[in-house]
Amino acid sequence: MDSSVHFDLRGSVLLITLDSPDQFPRLTRAVLRELLSRFENIPADSAVRAAVITGTPQSFAAGADLAEVSALTPVEALRFSALGQSLMRAIECCPKPVIAAIRGYCLGGGFDLAMACHMRIAGDDARFGHPGGSLGIMTGWGGTARLPRIVGPARAIELLTSGRIIDAAEAHAWLLISRVVPPAEVLAVAIDFAQQTMR
């Protein structure tokens, strides 16, 4: 199932939307490259003063495309991991605010993507987790470092090793997300907050 990324400038806020025909966007190599190329240019782009990343109503991002990953050679897998790490660092180090607007499932590499953002606003239907841990698959995109910094080592170990999925209320209590709003309001709230950061 092909995933894609769309860019839409809303005033000075760059809205970045991850999409897929099945409503569960995957972070394929093509999507990662497109995102990285854009974030490498944002610092010097005077038209962009903040960015909001979102997905579909069903899923912020469902992580890597496991069918694509399983077909990689060891060298290609190493490059794929490095590509994801480069993107997450570019987002985390972006000098302009980057906000994740999360609805539905935010899993695996999608969870890593959300954690790389400077702020996370979620719908009350949002679900967070690293299900790969229960399958013996550990993230290679920096989630193992970012998650403990946000929620503390004990909770990070629980999520990374058990595969447990937490809801928006628990994620908010853990300070993983800043605000919980109705799903229909997530995008508007995130864009409005992005605009406030530019004042």
In contact, 4 and 185? CB cutoff 8 Å? no
Higher pLDDT pick, 199 / 136: 136
What pLDDT shows up at residue 69?
85
Residue 134 has pLDDT above 90, yes or no: no
Closest CA to 128 of 92, 159, 88, 101: 159
> In this predicted model, what pLDDT tens digit does every residue of 35-46 receive, in sequence order?
999 999 999 999
Torsion angle (degrees, nearest 10) of CA 29, 145, 151, 92: -60
For the entire predicted model, the pTM comes to 0.94
* Helix residue ranges per DSSP H, 19-123: 29-41, 66-70, 74-92, 109-116
Give all domains of the chain, ordered by start, each with its CATH number.
4-197 (3.90.226.10)
**Over the stretch 77-106, which tens digit does the pLDDT of each residue have?**
899 999 999 999 999 999 999 999 999 999
> Is the pLDDT score of 1 beyond 80?
no
